[in-house]
Chain A
């Protein structure tokens, strides 16, 4: 395995994702002789993991089972050890598309943080592109380097430990895209411009506060960026539930009407298990929004250097 190439079987040294159940998973580093404890019992790497196919069901010592998944940047994002606040896949998706990233793209990023976005960027620009990522926090930079090595992608990324606002990205005129997730992005716009290729490129800045966006936009304009556009993207997840509503007793037998009424409004034609008149209730399947959702992550400001 690695993060940019699928493999069939689990090998020594791989990072694999142990999937326990709905939204519950964690990463393991596969090593001969090592064991991992789960609430369903012990997983012995040598016998239970190595040589098995990714996607297999593994039975633990207590008889419970888990699935072992191939790592992807998206699964890593959900499971990585947080050293900072991270970007999630919803924002990452739109960033990747709006920065027009593809195999071969050269990208500059700052800060590296926990490497959530970095893994997704590397995945997209591989095998011929490169990521230059700048992190001013020495320990975080070290840790990120270590992770990239473990995940078999170190050849696609350069981690630099410096202050992007003062010293820039350490490269000039080579990037197709620049991404900024720092507290004062307006101080790095000049450096971003010089990192981008002479013939142009795209830039994105992520900021939680509108005041930061304001200053960033002004700086972008000042440096001659065009197509400046700020947006926000929100994810809505729906739980699929079977809901049953009681039919009120109005003192008359009106069963037939209500039954067919629900049936026809339901577009699913196969079997139609949704409308079921039973003992005065109507059943249907619904996509129910979660009770609490993420209302705001950050504003994304995009612009073009041309």
Chain B
């Protein structure tokens, strides 16, 4: 079972609200260790948006806690403006439809 302690919830919330775009992923933006994570990194690079990445492979407690925090079972997990946006499929579809660019631009201006 996923263990989302109040402390972990608070620090995740602080982190995702402290940065406009946050990607929890397998690996790092310079060295993605999974094709799905790599897809989202390439999309964010393409949008030329500043973003933070967190490697969930390095912290199993965080990995399990995030699943509970977002109510999302897999990685990568993209957060925009403090809110969970989606996984790889949703991000890809939103990128292709132009919706992601809109959401990101809105976040940058907020």
Does B associate with A?
Answer: no
- B→A interface (CB under 8 Å): none
